[in-house]
Amino acid sequence: MTIGEISMFIKEDLYLLPNDVHRPGEKPFIETVSLEEHEGLSIEEPEEISVAGPVKEIPKIHVFNNVLFITDKPLSGLASETFNKLVFNALKLKETDFTVLNQDDITFSKAEEINSRKIILFGTSFSGFQQKYKPHKEAEKLILLADSMDRIAHNNDLKKELWLNLQLMFPS
């Protein structure tokens, strides 16, 4: 099961700790104990563990589908119609392949906080990304900043510019 598939069922923030990672092909160590098999087994309270030095905060990782679209406002009218044509007809994405969020609903500000591989921003800004219609690669993520869907829906030149750059992000 992929993270995108898991994100359909789990809506809470997930955290991945370095010790929790195992590589493909490697069998994770899991031990189960049946109380019936071990009579006299007592369960003790864990000892309190003290940590020397400062505790490093674990950054939140927001789990979304493979593709994340962030809009400046909820889509409606011609903007919604244009977006649907773009996503379903042109990019041929399925509803399970992408997530659409309104800028007001997001709780993150950096690309490192998102696990989606492709992030497209419509009419909104994102920390460190200023140049529109130029896919930017950061680590394993591709990020594209574009005008708002309302503006794109009413301007054929912007539609063409968006489409050209999305073809770079979604090669067939």
Residues 64, 8: Cα–Cα separation, whole Å: 8
The answer as to whether 131 is a domain residue is: yes
The answer as to whether 30 is a domain residue is: no
The tally of domains found in the chain comes to 1
pLDDT digit string (tens) for 101-120? Answer: 888 888 776 777 788 899 99
Cβ atoms of 127 and 106 within 8 Å: the answer is: no
The answer as to whether 48 is a domain residue is: no
Neighbours of 141 (CB within 10 A): 16
The answer as to whether 124 is a domain residue is: yes
Report the candidate in 167, 162, 161, 126 with the shortest Cα–Cα distance to residue 143.
126
The answer as to whether 108 is a domain residue is: yes
Average pLDDT for the chain:
75
The answer as to whether 121 is a domain residue is: yes
* Domain of 162, in residue numbers: 73-169
Residues 15, 148: Cα–Cα separation, whole Å: 32
What does the pLDDT profile of the chain (172 residues) look like in tens digits?
A: 555 555 555 666 655 555 555 445 555 444 444 445 545 555 555 555 455 555 555 556 666 778 999 999 999 999 999 999 988 888 998 888 898 988 888 877 677 778 889 999 999 876 666 788 998 888 888 989 999 999 999 999 999 999 999 998 988 7
pLDDT digit string (tens) for 50-61? Answer: 555 555 555 566
